[in-house]
Structure 1
Amino acid sequence: MTAIPGAPPARAAGLRGLSFHQCLLAAFLLITALLGGAAVQAMFALEHVATQGRQASQDAAGLTTQVQRLAERTVAMERSARQFLVLDDAGLRDRFRAAWQDAQATQGELAPLLADAASRQLFADWAAQAESAWAVLQVPARARPQALRRLTPLFARLHAINEALTAQSQQAMDKRSDAVLAELEQQWRLISALVLGAIALAVLLGLSFGHWLLRPLVHLEAAIGRLGDNRFDQPVQVRGPADLRRLGRQLEWLRQRLATLESDKTRFVRHISHELKTPMASIREGAALLRDGVAGPLTPDQAEIVRILGDNTAALQGQIEDLLRYQALASDSQQLQRRAVDLPALLARVVDDQRLLWQAKALQLRVEAQPCTARVDGDKLAIVLANLLGNAVRFSPAGGVVRWVLQNDDRLLRIACIDEGPGVAPEDVERVFDPFYQGRHQAPGARRGSGIGLSIVREIVQAHGGSCRLLPAERGAHFLIEIPHEKTD
């Protein structure tokens, strides 16, 4: 990037030391990290709930299997015991003992899954009933018929305990399912709060970064607009990323350079205009002496030449004086003397001052004005109205209508001047307020103007903080002035 003469070195820390695209990338990375962190946390929470769900499912399957196995071992024990008491086969008693040991192993696997006090009591009762059944099998052979009657209530109690263990297993599975559901609901609330918080924080960060990054662009746009309007009074100050601040310093250097060139141009025009006035006055005075016959009588052809010379000299002197007035107004337009001004009365005075001009062309002036008193510079605003009226009178056809509309609300004053002339060519609209620019449509038979009247209008209106526009119209020219103001009582 081109170095700026006299520009101070950039001093920035943190984000201010980064360029615009680096700051934008940092903002995106920060927001992405924030949302990614929320997503990872949600993933871990869901994985935790899924693990608990799988464990609960495995425990439920284990409970169901072990309870069923315990019931099956109890049936096997009862069958073996009854057969032993009837057949007196020692192998059947061994089978009872094997089924009993298998049932004890099954209880050992059930015990960690059913760790409540009621389940422990059931396991103890089951063991006591099994011990009693084993004791019955130890009676002598002659007492075994009576042992069968003693065995029946013992196994009935074992079956009842098995059913109770089945119910306890179902309750344990229900509790674990409820716990998993509660954990899932808690994790859902946590994930929802985390995601919503992350989104809200991401939006806040996005808005903050957007404001911080776009504010310098707004300042740059405003500064470029002021430079385009030849307003060099406000320094260009841009804060934000390093490259935008560097661009702001370039614009500030450009503003100073343009202000210097504008001052040099104004001084040159003023000096050359003053230098031209003296010989121009001498030429005009000489032409007048010749026309008056001081140097002797003139032939008709010589008199016509002297008349042409005098008319064009007067026209050139008038343009020089207009140029001097423009330079004076341009340099003085920013110095406003605001006071309470009756705007309809000011407009009426301007119209009356040019009465001879618009009556000479048989024009009709129509004024539609709302009562309004505002704090403005009345003298400079009168110049604006006079230039607009003079422009309308110059371009209006004989017998035409020039209409003024003055509207006012609490904060904005609108002044419109509408004529029935040839209007402004489309290619001239963008430059109609430029100094010394003359459009393609000119008043028939009239001397071409200096092209500074509308420039003066824009200078004074912008000094008031307002705007001056040329609005589209089917016929003629429609100028609209808008000036913010404070109403007075």
Structure 2
Amino acid sequence: MSNHNRRGWRLSSLKQLVLLSFLVVVTPFGILIYYATDALVEQSAEGRVLAKQALEVTRRGQRLEGLAEDITRSARQYQILAKPEIKQRLTQNLLDYREQLSIHSFILTKVEQLNQINALLDNIEQSNAEDANNLLGFTRDINQQVDLILDQRLQALNSTAQHTQTQLSTLALILLVIEMLLILFFSFSIIRPVRRIADRIQALGTGEEYTGAMVGGPDELVELEQQLDWLTERLAEVENEKQRFLRHMSHELKTPLTTLREGSDLLADQITGPLNQSQMEVTQLLQSNSRQLQSLIEQLLDYSRLHQNESVNFHPVKLLPVFIEAIEPYKLLLEQKKIHLTLPKEEHEWTTDRAMLVRIISNLVSNAALYGSNEGDLTLSIEHTNEHCLIHVENDGPTIPLKDVPLLFEPFYQGQNRRQGPVKGSGIGLSIVHDAAESLGATVTLSKNENHRVGFSVCLPISEHPIND
């Protein structure tokens, strides 16, 4: 638990982490939207100003051309008629032209042309009609220059818009990359502790010790990790209690059972006196069921040892003596059911753990003896190659229902078929076979299940473990 106090900075809750990740991911988009909106507003304002200016300049240019025509016409008329009202109209037109030209001059960049037009206007005002003919041409030149200046400003505005668009595209691409990195970072920050919790739960479920990093992260996940710590300790205590219970119970059961077996053996050997046929049958029944009870107790002990990761010792083992040792506890039951036993005729040797192999064969023979048919066959055979050793245990008896086949090696599972005899089975025989085979790196399979014939095969691979002499 002290490891929790050594963690670095972290957000205090999962809610805060999610909110912060949302804000950090959304902020770059907000910046992009603000920048794009600001640039759009600015360029829109410039566009409106330019449009308004172009409209005013166009109207003013048209007004100047009209005034130039009126001035030219009035100058000619005054030169011919010399009437005061014509002179007055000419003066007014010149005044209006000068006023419009002064406004127009803010756009023009060439001062020389403005000076020429002003000089031309002075000459016209002094009744020089010939100079008035040039006024319209100068006015049109000025309007063309103004149009050119407006086109240049429009092109500049378009260039600015394209530049802004390029900047926004680049900024959007950069922010997209940043967004992806932020999303990956915050996703990893949330997923990593959750994945570690999942690993811890998996290790807890398989009974393995968790050796990964501490979970860390927000308070909710840290609290969940503390609960897992408590659960791990509690399960370890329960497992220890279970193992202690099995050891004590098996000891307490084996002590009176040994007395029963010794007493039944004494009766069967007629040490206390001769027995009639009925008494002998009762004695044999006591012997048979006491052996079955002993087998059940030994299965419980085997199951307990296998789940304590009992070590294995690999060395060359002669297989025929293993078969004989495994069959010995069930010889009386086989004789009572008149089951014909067939063993391999040739000796074989394989590198394995002898105690584990005896445990495997013993439980397979136990199943065959208990579930096998009366006056049936029980065959143990060996297929030996350079790469593996196959041990087959087959017997006559009722076939296993198909729906029971996938669950055969599950602990404490009992299928539809029931063993013969008053002592009920524990349902862990085949589970012990499976676990013991795994400890040897071997596999056990249901190899035959048809025509009132059931068989199991154990495949022992070449041992890669060091051989212990």
For residue 422 of structure 1, what is the aligned residue in structure 2? 400
For residue 46 of structure 1, what is the aligned residue in structure 2? 40
Does the Cα contact within 8 Å between 1:31 and 1:202 map onto a contact in 2? yes
- Normalising by structure 2, we get a TM-score of 0.75
For residue 427 of structure 2, what is the aligned residue in structure 1? 451
Q: What is the alpha-carbon distance in structure 1 between the residues aligned to residue 73 and residue 32 of structure 2?
A: 61
Does the Cα contact within 8 Å between 2:413 and 2:427 map onto a contact in 1? yes
Q: What is the alpha-carbon distance in structure 2 between the residues aligned to residue 164 and residue 401 of structure 1?
A: 120
Aligned letter for 1:206?
Answer: I
For residue 57 of structure 1, what is the aligned residue in structure 2? 51
Q: What is the alpha-carbon distance in structure 2 between the residues aligned to residue 239 and residue 480 of structure 1?
A: 46
How large is the Cα RMSD of the aligned pairs? Answer: 4.7
Aligned letter for 1:198?
Answer: L
Does the Cα contact within 8 Å between 1:39 and 1:195 map onto a contact in 2? no
- Structure 1 alignment gaps of length 5 or more: 1-5, 138-146, 365-375, 406-414
Q: CA deviation at 1:458?
A: 6.5
Q: CA deviation at 1:41?
A: 1.5
Aligned letter for 1:451?
Answer: G
For residue 442 of structure 1, what is the aligned residue in structure 2? 417
Q: CA deviation at 1:288?
A: 0.4
Q: What is the alpha-carbon distance in structure 1 between the residues aligned to residue 226 and residue 430 of structure 2?
A: 33
Aligned letter for 1:47?
Answer: V
Q: CA deviation at 1:441?
A: 3.2
Q: CA deviation at 1:306?
A: 1.2
The DSSP-based 3-state class of the residue aligned with 2:307 is helix
Compared CA separation, residues 387 and 302, structure 1 to 2 (3 A): closer
- Identity in percent: 25
For residue 125 of structure 1, what is the aligned residue in structure 2? 116
Kindly indicate whether residue 276 of structure 2 is the aligned counterpart of residue 285 of structure 1.
no
Aligned letter for 2:307?
Answer: A
Q: What is the alpha-carbon distance in structure 1 between the residues aligned to residue 298 and residue 221 of structure 2?
A: 44
For residue 62 of structure 2, what is the aligned residue in structure 1? 68
Compared CA separation, residues 267 and 86, structure 1 to 2 (3 A): same
Does the Cα contact within 8 Å between 2:247 and 2:301 map onto a contact in 1? yes
Equivalent in 146, 151, 159 of residue 174 of structure 1: 151
- Which one is further off, 284-293 or 170-179? 170-179
Compared CA separation, residues 169 and 404, structure 1 to 2 (3 A): farther
Q: What is the alpha-carbon distance in structure 2 between the residues aligned to residue 238 and residue 431 of structure 1?
A: 38
Aligned letter for 1:255?
Answer: T
- Which one is further off, 66-75 or 88-97? 88-97
Q: CA deviation at 1:178?
A: 0.9
Instruction: For 1:355-374, list aligned pairs within 5 A.
Output: none
Equivalent in 259, 266, 274 of residue 243 of structure 2: 266
Q: What is the alpha-carbon distance in structure 2 between the residues aligned to residue 225 and residue 256 of structure 1?
A: 15
Q: CA deviation at 1:443?
A: 6.4
Compared CA separation, residues 477 and 307, structure 1 to 2 (3 A): closer
Q: What is the alpha-carbon distance in structure 2 between the residues aligned to residue 67 and residue 198 of structure 1?
A: 48
Q: What is the alpha-carbon distance in structure 2 between the residues aligned to residue 155 and residue 486 of structure 1?
A: 117
Q: CA deviation at 1:310?
A: 0.9
Q: What is the alpha-carbon distance in structure 2 between the residues aligned to residue 259 and residue 224 of structure 1?
A: 14
For residue 158 of structure 1, what is the aligned residue in structure 2? 135
Q: What is the alpha-carbon distance in structure 1 between the residues aligned to residue 354 and residue 449 of structure 2?
A: 32
Q: Deviations over 1:236-265 (max 9, x none)?
A: 932211101111110111101110110121
Q: What is the alpha-carbon distance in structure 2 between the residues aligned to residue 126 and residue 403 of structure 1?
A: 126
- Which one is further off, 322-331 or 295-304? 322-331
Q: CA deviation at 1:326?
A: 2.5
Q: What is the alpha-carbon distance in structure 2 between the residues aligned to residue 43 and residue 380 of structure 1?
A: 81
Equivalent in 266, 277, 301 of residue 300 of structure 1: 277
Kindly indicate whether residue 9 of structure 2 is the aligned counterpart of residue 32 of structure 1.
no
Aligned letter for 1:73?
Answer: L
Aligned letter for 2:416?
Answer: H
For residue 332 of structure 2, what is the aligned residue in structure 1? none
Does the Cα contact within 8 Å between 1:425 and 1:441 map onto a contact in 2? no
Q: What is the alpha-carbon distance in structure 1 between the residues aligned to residue 105 and residue 169 of structure 2?
A: 38
Does the Cα contact within 8 Å between 2:264 and 2:287 map onto a contact in 1? yes
Equivalent in 240, 249, 252 of residue 226 of structure 2: 249
Kindly indicate whether residue 313 of structure 2 is the aligned counterpart of residue 319 of structure 1.
no
Kindly indicate whether residue 90 of structure 2 is the aligned counterpart of residue 92 of structure 1.
no
For residue 368 of structure 1, what is the aligned residue in structure 2? none
The DSSP-based 3-state class of the residue aligned with 1:451 is coil
- Structure 2 alignment gaps of length 5 or more: 328-338, 345-350, 384-389
Q: CA deviation at 1:224?
A: 2.1
Compared CA separation, residues 198 and 272, structure 1 to 2 (3 A): same
Q: What is the alpha-carbon distance in structure 2 between the residues aligned to residue 403 and residue 44 of structure 1?
A: 88
Compared CA separation, residues 238 and 388, structure 1 to 2 (3 A): farther
Compared CA separation, residues 392 and 308, structure 1 to 2 (3 A): closer
Compared CA separation, residues 486 and 321, structure 1 to 2 (3 A): closer
Q: CA deviation at 1:165?
A: 1.4
Does the Cα contact within 8 Å between 2:67 and 2:97 map onto a contact in 1? yes
- Normalising by structure 1, we get a TM-score of 0.72
Kindly indicate whether residue 287 of structure 2 is the aligned counterpart of residue 310 of structure 1.
yes
Q: What is the alpha-carbon distance in structure 2 between the residues aligned to residue 198 and residue 467 of structure 1?
A: 57
Kindly indicate whether residue 160 of structure 2 is the aligned counterpart of residue 183 of structure 1.
yes
Aligned letter for 1:330?
Answer: H
The DSSP-based 3-state class of the residue aligned with 1:128 is helix
Aligned letter for 2:173?
Answer: L
For residue 387 of structure 2, what is the aligned residue in structure 1? none
Equivalent in 214, 224, 228 of residue 205 of structure 2: 228
Compared CA separation, residues 236 and 41, structure 1 to 2 (3 A): closer
The DSSP-based 3-state class of the residue aligned with 2:308 is helix
Does the Cα contact within 8 Å between 2:407 and 2:413 map onto a contact in 1? no
Does the Cα contact within 8 Å between 1:237 and 1:249 map onto a contact in 2? no
Compared CA separation, residues 218 and 177, structure 1 to 2 (3 A): same
- Which one is further off, 258-267 or 232-241? 232-241
For residue 143 of structure 1, what is the aligned residue in structure 2? none
Kindly indicate whether residue 192 of structure 2 is the aligned counterpart of residue 215 of structure 1.
yes
Paired residues, number: 429
Q: CA deviation at 1:104?
A: 1.6
